[in-house]
Amino acid sequence: MKTAAIIPARYSSGRLKGKPLMDIWGRPMIWWVYNNVRKSRKIDQVYAATDNDEIYAVCRKYGLNCIMTSPDAETSTLRVYEAARSIDADLYICVNGDEPLIPADTIEKIIPESAVGFFAGNLMTKIKTAAEAVDSSNIKVAVNKEGYAVFMSRSLIPYPKDRLLFDYYKHLGVLAYTMEALEFFKNTPKGICEDIEDINELRFIENGKKLKMTEVECGSLSVDTQKDLEYVRQVIGEMLEGEALRV
Which tops the pLDDT comparison, 221 or 29?
29
Q: Are strands 3-8 and 91-95 parallel, antiparallel or unpaired?
A: parallel
Residue-level pLDDT at 58? 97
User: Cα–Cα distance between 110 and 125 in angstroms, integer?
Assistant: 12
Does the pLDDT of residue 13 top 80, yes or no? no
Distance CA 25, CA 6 (A): 23
Higher pLDDT, 210 or 71: 210
Give pLDDT, residue 192: 97
Residue 150 scores a pLDDT above 90 = yes
Phi, psi (degrees; rounded to nearest 5) at 49: -135, 120
Give the C-alpha separation, 20 to 183, whole Å.
26
Of 46, 17, 43, the closest CA to residue 32 belongs to 46
Averaged pLDDT, 65-89:
94
23 confidence band (pLDDT: 50, 70, 90): very high
> Between 163 and 92, whose confidence is greater?
92
**pLDDT class of 26 with cuts at 50, 70, 90:** very high
With cut-offs at 50, 70 and 90, classify the pLDDT of residue 218. Answer: confident
- The rounded distance, in Å, linking the Cα atoms of 232 and 222 is 9
| Number of residues that make up the chain | 247
Over residues 75-89, the mean pLDDT reads: 96
10: nearest Cα among 66, 65, 63, 52: 52
Which pLDDT band, with edges at 50, 70 and 90, does 160 fall under? Answer: confident
Instruction: Burial-class residue 135 by CB neighbours within 10 Å (0-12, 13-18, 19+).
Output: middle
Average pLDDT along the chain: 93
* Boundaries of every domain in the chain: 3-246
CB 176 within 8 A of CB 91: yes
Q: Which residues pair with 47 in a beta bridge?
A: 6
Query: For residue 244, what pLDDT is reported?
Result: 67
User: What CATH number belongs to 3-246?
Assistant: 3.90.550.10
Give the pLDDT score at 245. 64
**Alpha-carbon distance values, 151 to 170, 193, 214 (Å):** 11, 10, 15
